[in-house]
Structure 1
Amino acid sequence: MAEEKQGLSRREILAAGLAASAAAFAGASIAGSGERKAERTPRMPLAYVPHGGGPWPFVDIGFGDRAELDDLARYLKELGNLPPVRPRALLVVSAHWEEQVPTVMTAARPPMFYDYYGFPPESYEIQWPAPGDPELASRVRELLAEAGLPTASDPRRGFDHGTFVPLKLTYPDADVPTIQLSLVRGLDPRLHLEIGRALAPLRDEGVFIVGSGMSYHNLRAGFGPRMRPVAEAFDAWLRDVATAEPERRDRGLLEWERAPMARAAHPREEHLIPLMVIAGAAGDDVGRVAWNGTFAGIRLSAYHFG
């Protein structure tokens, strides 16, 4: 009894040791859990893809060589293999939506928006019923606000063909939550690079960001043989710039109008601007040509980052 009053008893020492061991084990387990969680959400890549013309993969649109169309369809079907793990959600920046400020789709069940005309009746029955993601929409607005950018939301906006046409090939089960973010009227390249930079944290949150446009888009001149040299010249420039080191890439994109045949390839640049958002989100990641082919004889390309 006298010894126990002067110090800890053997029982107390043993109990203290067991408690310390348990605490150490618990701490290691928590740390390990955090490491495993980080492993489950690796950084997502980015993609800028051509969505083709109208509902081309699903109905006969009356132009384009079958082998060409099949090659682009194959690329879009394989796009789902790009992320190292299944994305938590998709954020699409489509050429077919412009607003006064960056605007996000907030519908939990977005409708279809058939924003094309002159195609067979079945073109207006295509479905891609992916769920929306209001929580992601709020996060997008939060990140843009932190960058000092005004934002808005649209609860009625549906998936336009810049989203549902390519992604019906990539995710045919429509089982990945998806939202769209608009372009900003005026189509300022610098602003859209800034938007991309603001959204970069989403890559570490399981969000696969896709820019949907076309590296050539001149509907007035069309896709005839006369425009093939135009598309070839501009696409060669774009391949060089999009795969350059980031500083030169961003500088080149800001000055895209100086490119060979720039305004002949893009009389209006809404189909090119989604690439600016993707490049901004890429940061220091260098781009690579993921697909290069033709659509109705016109040279097109797709780019991946990360």
Structure 2
Amino acid sequence: MMPSFFIAHGAPLLAIEDNEYTQFLTELGKTMPRPKAIVLFSAHWESPVQKVSNVETYSTIYDFGGFPEALYRIQYPAQGDNQVAKEIEELFTEQDILYEAETRRGLDHGAWVVLRLLYPEADVPVIAMSVNPRLTPEEQYKIGKSLAKLREQDILIVGSGGTVHNLGAVKMMSDHGEIDDWALDFDEWLARHLKNWDLASLFQYNTLAPTARLAVPPYGNEHFIPIFYAMGAADDERKAELIHRSYRYGNLSHSVWQFGS
């Protein structure tokens, strides 16, 4: 049974950096079982209706500005997988989840930064998925849960975002290892409830978690919610393990959660 993951994609600079976190993701890609395909929910693809990519070869989207030229030269020409995309559509139909097929959109940096560190050769098929911040956490979890059967076929399900992601609070010019207390407080609360699979509390994180409005600002919850899609995909096992956590710029979290075996 393939686990599902929530993986922080951090700042775009990760794509050209060599640090503790990039080394961890590179090693993770080498050591975990090689998936048949990857289904990835990206915080940088929002849609009011669930989108399912059915693309032959993805283009690379540079959905950021003001970064070094080297970032804009990166290509990640992953292939799609028509069969897996169609199976996802069938699973959504069975669960009465509305969806639309997407046949043109490329991979945004929430997808390709993570994928390139895990599988630098772009040799694992990818099905890109949108997220909808306007849904309730219960609804986001249900979408992930509807895909749980894919894990039995060695298909990796990933939610890409960030547990603490507040662009108004990050200190891009200060990267000396200091961590803001409020970021740690939120992540520690989250860890306790994830490990206990406490859905009742997690679904109300915005009112129950300390400093939630700083860690997950209402205008930026799209980076947090991929955790519910990834978690739902492992509902049959209900096992959560924090396998990496570090921080950059004072409070930008690089958390990796593994759900399931």
Alignment TM-score, normalising by the size of structure 2: 0.91
Partner of 1:239: 191
Equivalent residue of 1:57, what SS? Answer: helix
CA distance in 1, matches of 2:21, 2:119: 15
**Between Structure 1 and Structure 2, which shows a larger proportion of helix residues?**
1
Partner of 1:168: 116
Partner of 2:202: 253
Partner of 1:229: 181
CA distance in 2, matches of 1:197, 1:211: 13
CA distance in 1, matches of 2:108, 2:78: 12
1:264 is aligned, of 214, 217, 236, to 214
Matched, 1:56 2:14: yes
Equivalent residue of 1:282, what SS? Answer: coil
Matched, 1:178 2:120: no
Tell whether the 8 Å contact from 1:48 to 1:210 is kept in structure 2 after alignment. Answer: yes
Tell whether the 8 Å contact from 2:14 to 2:22 is kept in structure 1 after alignment. Answer: no
- 1:113 shift after superposition: 1.0
Partner of 2:4: 46
Tell whether the 8 Å contact from 1:106 to 1:132 is kept in structure 2 after alignment. Answer: yes
Unmatched segments (≥5 aa) in structure 1: 1-42, 60-68
| Count of paired positions | 251
Partner of 1:6: none
- 1:97 shift after superposition: 0.5
- 1:227 shift after superposition: 7.5
Which of 1 and 2 has higher RCO (CA within 8 Å, sep 6+)?
A: 2
Q: How does 1:139-154 map to 2 (within 5 A)?
A: 139-154=87-102
- 1:115 shift after superposition: 0.8
- 1:82 shift after superposition: 5.5
CA deviation profile, 1:79-112 (whole Å, cap 9, x unmatched):
22454x3211001111111111110111110111
CA distance in 2, matches of 1:230, 1:302: 19
What is the RMSD computed on CA atoms of the aligned residues?
1.8
Alignment TM-score, normalising by the size of structure 1: 0.78
Q: How does 1:208-227 map to 2 (within 5 A)?
A: 208-223=156-171
Matched, 1:90 2:42: no
2:21 is aligned, of 68, 72, 84, to 72
Equivalent residue of 2:45, what SS? Answer: strand
Q: Which amino acid aligns with 1:80?
A: G
CA distance in 2, matches of 1:112, 1:55: 15
- 1:185 shift after superposition: 4.4
Unmatched segments (≥5 aa) in structure 2: none
Q: State the structure with more CA Rg.
A: 1
Is 218-227 or 137-146 further displaced after alignment? 218-227
Q: Which amino acid aligns with 1:302?
A: V
CA distance in 2, matches of 1:301, 1:181: 20
Partner of 2:147: 199
Q: Which amino acid aligns with 2:26?
A: K
CA distance in 1, matches of 2:72, 2:254: 26
CA deviation profile, 1:175-220 (whole Å, cap 9, x unmatched):
0001111112414211110001101000011210111111111012
Q: Which amino acid aligns with 1:101?
A: V
Q: Which amino acid aligns with 1:295?
A: R
CA deviation profile, 1:117-154 (whole Å, cap 9, x unmatched):
11122211111111111221111111111111111011
CA distance in 1, matches of 2:254, 2:70: 27
Tell whether the 8 Å contact from 2:49 to 2:100 is kept in structure 1 after alignment. Answer: yes
Matched, 1:276 2:234: no
Matched, 1:102 2:102: no
Q: Which amino acid aligns with 1:99?
A: S
Q: Which amino acid aligns with 1:221?
A: A
